[in-house]
């Protein structure tokens, strides 16, 4: 990921600079990466924040939802 971007490029993050990369993962294919991106977009804020902190136990707990019992 380039550290600098041309100022003339628009888009969602153009008005929200600077942005910071907080999580990265490698995938074997672009299709797999895009699938994971779509999955993460459906996660709750709590679950995303746990992932960004590397707290995989909390990610697991957040996956259970409000109405599921503890395992």
38 φ, ψ (degrees, to nearest 5):
-65, -40
pLDDT tens per residue, range 1-37? 555 555 566 788 888 888 888 889 999 999 999 999 9
The pTM for the full model equals 0.63
Choose among 48, 3, 39: nearest CA to 21.
3
Distance CA 46, CA 65 (A): 11
pLDDT at 29: 97
pLDDT at 45: 93
């Amino acid at each position: 990921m380039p550290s600098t971007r041309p100022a003339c490029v628009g888009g969602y993050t153009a008005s929200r600079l600077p942005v910071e990369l907080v999580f990265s993962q490698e995938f074997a294919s672009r299709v797999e990466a895009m699938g994971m991106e779509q999955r993460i977009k459906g996660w709750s804020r709590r679950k995303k924040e746990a992932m960004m902190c590397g707290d995989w136990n909390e990610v697991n707990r957040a996956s259970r939802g409000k109405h599921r019992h503890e395992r």
